[in-house]
Amino acid sequence: MEFTDYMATQRQALMRFATVLTCRPWLAEDLVSDVLCRAYERWDRISQVAEPHAYIRRMVLNEYLSWRRRLVRSSPRADLEPVHPRLGDGAEERAERDAMIAQLARLPRQRRAALVLRYYAGLSDAEIATELGCQVTTVRSQISRALATLRIELSPNTLQETK
Amino acid sequence: MTDLRTLADAFAELERRADVAMSTVDPSKSGAWLDSPPVRRRRTWASHGWLTPVAAAAAVVFGVVAAAVALAPGGGSGTQPGTQTSTQANTAATTAPTTQPAPASTPTVPRDSAELATRFQTVLGDTATFTVTDTGPGIVENSTPAGAFLGGVLTASGVSGGYNLWFYPGRVLGECGDCTTSRLDDGSELWVHQMPLDAAPDSLTVAAELYRADGVLIRLFVSNASSPKGGDTVQLAAQPPLTQEQVIAILTSDRW
């Protein structure tokens, strides 16, 4: 796969993943930009791996986990607010969704990454453990704590599927 | 209590915000990306064409250039003994001054990392030396690389630390939550921030990003750790080899 082909087909998915991971489009764009520059330089090698997108997604994840930015803002948290607030039906659901985004953004980085990898990227606990460089038990603990913080109650069926 | 549907809704909304962010600079909507007018850019910047990829370089040490320099030798007490002049000040400001002298000339974007390294040494003068262990384009936008990037270790007055330097046709990417911003006389915008690193205790990265009014972006991160961004990094000194004032002076230098 050529780098141009990768960019054409996967950049949006990469940007979406980074935004879900960081909850901040501006930070996601910065991360993705830096990662793509490095990927461009190493494309000869990256294009040979079985799943280049998974590889680059891991680069984004590692970049995010290794960065230390103080995210305290003195201005209103504009990028955690709805970009186009809408009036009308579904206001309660939107408020609940936006509150969830705000809570997600406050999760510790590692915990948020584990949650996103399971419920957004659809990875198994073993795959998540590989991505994060930790034990499977740690992954489950992190996710359990994240769900508790977000006050998410899993149905019995969901509990069965995630084990 | 809530359930996973709310989490899924949150993910979907974040995806939508990502798509909105991408659509503001989508070249298919506004022509070539360099001609698209992101919010704070003043003028488009002509592309210098395709960047010739630079292979990953072995460490190259750029020696002292015996030229007049505008920067005072920097550095801190560090863990390595180093020579320090009596004129050195080793205080890293936590906020940038509200007014800054504007760069006197309009620099062209470097063709590649080798050119950027030459320019960097010219700007540094005899303030510091640096190695180059990582190179690449400054940015890759829609598969088009532009500008240049350098990474390595910078040494000033016997104090060493990792650095990253970017130089490319730039645009403001949005807000930087922990930055101190100031507007220069020519309309350029300076973002200054300091970041502790998770990976190494007592590590610190000082960073400045100059968004020039003429469409050029220069970013310099300098750390007392081997990598200014953390990750697989070790602490090399008690403080970064350059102060925040020195980093700002480098970015606003007219020697680029």
Q: Which portions of chain B are predicted below pLDDT 70?
A: 24-107, 141-143, 171-178, 197-201, 230-232
Q: How far is Cα of residue B152 from the mean position of the Cα atoms in its chain? A: 13
State residue A63's pLDDT score: 83
pLDDT digits (tens, 9 = 90+) for A41-87: 889 999 999 999 999 999 999 888 876 543 333 223 344 544 444 55
Distance from CA of A31 to the nearest CA of B (A): 11
- Asked if residue A23 has pLDDT above 70, the reply is yes
In this structure, what token pair is assigned to residue A159? 């509990």
pLDDT band per the 50, 70, 90 thresholds, residue A159? low
State residue B40's pLDDT score: 27
Distances, alpha carbon A27 to alpha carbons A160, B205, B235, B252, in Å: 35, 17, 25, 25
State residue B28's pLDDT score: 43
- Asked if residue A90 has pLDDT above 90, the reply is no
Question: Are A36 and B18 within 8 A, CB to CB?
Answer: no
User: Nearest CB to A19: which of B14, B139, B195?
Assistant: B14
Q: What residues of chain B lie within 8 A of the CB of A73, using their CB?
A: 175, 177-178
State residue B179's pLDDT score: 77
ipTM: 0.83
Cα distance between residue B251 and residue B256, in whole Å: 8
State residue B142's pLDDT score: 65
Question: Are A152 and B6 within 8 A, CB to CB?
Answer: yes
Opening angle at CA A47, ends A41 and A51, nearest 5: 125
Distances, alpha carbon A72 to alpha carbons A44, A147, B191, B220, in Å: 39, 23, 16, 22
Cα distance between residue A89 and residue A108, in whole Å: 33
Greater model confidence, A36 or B39: A36
In this structure, what token pair is assigned to residue B159? 């104090």
State residue A155's pLDDT score: 75
Determine whether B137 is exposed, middle or buried from the number of CB atoms within 10 Å of its CB (0-12, 13-18, 19+): buried
- Listed by number, the residues of chain A in 54-93 with a beta carbon closer than 8 Å to a beta carbon of chain B are 62-63, 65-73, 75, 78-79, 82-83, 93
Helix (H) or strand (E) holding B118: helix B113-124
- Asked if residue A32 has pLDDT above 60, the reply is yes
In the predicted model, what is the mean pLDDT of residues A26-48?
A: 88
Distance from CA of A69 to the nearest CA of B (A): 6
State residue B140's pLDDT score: 77
Question: Are B14 and A101 within 8 A, CB to CB?
Answer: yes
Greater model confidence, A5 or B229: A5
Contact at 8 Å (CB) between B74 and B127? yes
- Listed by number, the residues of chain A in 120-139 with a beta carbon closer than 8 Å to a beta carbon of chain B are 120
State residue A89's pLDDT score: 65
pLDDT digits (tens, 9 = 90+) for A93-139: 888 999 999 999 999 889 999 999 999 999 999 999 999 989 999 99
Question: Are A19 and B199 within 8 A, CB to CB?
Answer: no
User: Nearest CB to A73: which of B9, B19, B177?
Assistant: B177
State residue A119's pLDDT score: 95
Contact at 8 Å (CB) between A56 and A39? yes
Contact at 8 Å (CB) between A58 and B160? no
Q: Which residue of B has its CA nearest to A84?
A: B17
State residue B225's pLDDT score: 87
Place of tokens 């990392």: B113
State residue B25's pLDDT score: 54
Cα distance between residue A3 and residue B3, in whole Å: 39
